[in-house]
Amino acid sequence: MRVFIYTKYGSPAVLQMQEIDKPVPGDDQVLVKVNAVSINAYDWHMLTADIFLVRLMGEGLRKPKKQILGADIAGTVEAVGKNVSQFQPGDAVYGDIAGSGSGGFAEYATAPEKSLALKPSNLSFEQAAAVPMAAITALQGLRDVGKIQPGQKVLIQGASGGVGTFAVQLAKTFGAEVTAVCSTGKMDMLRSLGADRVIDYTRADFTRGKEQYDLILAVNGYHSLSAYRRVLAPRGIYAMAGGAPGQLFQAVLLGWLMSKKNGKTMAVVSARQSQGDLVYMRELIEAGKVTPVIDRRYPFLETAEAMRYLGAGHARGKIVIVIEGE
């Protein structure tokens, strides 16, 4: 089968197509014929090691241990291990296989059955591939870290990207009043997703305004923690789901200390794989309450170019690589 492999950290230029044997599923694994894979900031960090923690967290100090990227897949079950009970060949599935599978930049991938769920019936494979990591990061950031409640004032920073577009929609399903922060050209899209208010960050800095928020989900957090804390309501929560390395380190190192003051919580979102949340997202999608937003689709042969576009940081929603039919 064809696969894109990287044997050293670097730019998308280090991605190389190779022919390797089709993987064989283990006893508790599923072999998936990959129809589509979407890419996330996670894939960029794994490729470039721009956040040095990537090297220190077991991914490989000098070179990557796992050589196939692509966390979010959607495809058809090709074969199952002897202990697999939830799926059978022919099932249409989707899931996040980061850390537990063989990587989605390939024509076939293996994954534990707990990493997958049946694909939403009203989505194409391309649309389904855009869901798992981004949607679950948004869900767990709002629900588990942010403790979101109906009627709260919620601000989503970085609202036009993959996680942000899901976060806006999910916050509305929880009954929140949603403010989205983005650049000028993306404001109408976020209004169409249900945002009650949209702030153009090129013209206004919400951290200097008078409005206070019960929950801030920063998908692209680049302000200081003290700036976010200033616009949190009493007992408000700041949840950082992404941002510049400096802000990430500050949140990890100082967030717990700052949370002891004034009853405001400063936390980092560390999303986890969850089959239950994949099922929950499928139910919301099939009910028409949430829909993935796809900016661009690339053929498999243009995987490196898709990664370059991701790295530029201007995507509206998700970027999907189409593998089936190549």
| Domain boundary residue, one of 268, 284, 310 | 268
Per-residue pLDDT tens over the stretch 254-306: 555 556 567 788 888 988 999 999 999 999 999 999 999 999 999 999 999 99
pLDDT of residue 82 exceeding 80, the answer is yes
Integer Cα distance of 187 and 73 in angstroms? 29
User: For the packed helices 41-48 and 303-312, what is the interaxial angle rounded to 10 degrees?
Assistant: 100
Task: Tell me the whole-structure pTM to 2 decimals.
Answer: 0.92
pLDDT of residue 53 exceeding 60, the answer is no
180 and 221 co-located in one domain: yes
14 and 99 co-located in one domain: yes
pLDDT value for 119? 98
Per-residue pLDDT tens over the stretch 140-187: 999 999 999 999 999 999 999 999 999 999 999 999 999 999 999 999
Residue 285: inside a domain, yes or no? Answer: no
Integer Cα distance of 11 and 44 in angstroms? 9
Tally of structural domains, the chain:
2
Residue 287: inside a domain, yes or no? Answer: no
Residue 138 CA, chain-centre distance (Å), reads 8
104 and 217 co-located in one domain: no
Strand extents, DSSP E, 176-325: 177-182, 197-200, 213-218, 232-240, 265-268, 294-299, 318-322
Residue 288: inside a domain, yes or no? Answer: no
210 and 307 co-located in one domain: no
**Full residue range of the structural domain in which residue 235 is found:** 134-268
